Amino acid sequence: MTSLQTSPEQRYAAFRHKAFLSYWTARFLTTFATMIVSVAVGWQIYDLTRDPFDLGIVGIVQFLPSLLLVLVTGVVADRFGRRLIMALATVVEACCALVLLYFTLHGLVSPLPIFFVLALFGMGPEAARFEIVLKEPPLPWGYVLSIIGAVMLLEVLPYLEELVRGLRANDGRLVPQKRAARGGTEGR
């Protein structure tokens, strides 16, 4: 049996460990809940304002914290335990979901409080993204250079074609000859 052909027992061996199964289940349910909250908030904002622009604001408000936190998440991950960070991020998400539920049950008039809570909600999953990544060996330089060369050649080909057309039109000269001026100045 090759390394690409694994039996079903080997493929799902990690799920036999209770700790991994608990982690995977919690991670799946948290991600699922996050997606449901995102869709529900979009519907609620549109129902509240009937303005498609506010739907765009929902997306920006949820994305902006990840853009701002990208610089500090690595330092925080190095200084504090990942379990603590993931637990805090999950608590932040849960608190935000409860606040959004409170807003829904008490009838909200303006979308601004929802936007503020969504900014906090956007901080939750971003701090907890510690994915397991398979480390691949780096690509050989020859391969990388050949791909870059092929891309550059494809980018340069239209310009080369125009150069050849110009040379053909001008009898092999890069700059066309000056033509004599028209309108009676030739005979003088």
**Residue pair 89/127 in contact by the 8 Å Cβ criterion:** yes
pLDDT score at 182: 63
Quote the mean pLDDT of the chain: 78
pLDDT score at 2: 53
| Whole-number Å distance between alpha carbons of 127 and 83 | 11
Q: Say whether pTM exceeds 0.85.
A: no
**Residue pair 92/119 in contact by the 8 Å Cβ criterion:** no
Residue 39's pLDDT band, with cuts at 50, 70 and 90, is confident
- Find tokens 């074609």 and name the residue: 161
| Whole-number Å distance between alpha carbons of 2 and 88 | 42
pLDDT score at 131: 46
Compute the chain's Rg from CA coordinates: 30
pLDDT score at 73: 76
Least confident piece of the model among 19-33, 54-68, 92-106, 127-141? 127-141
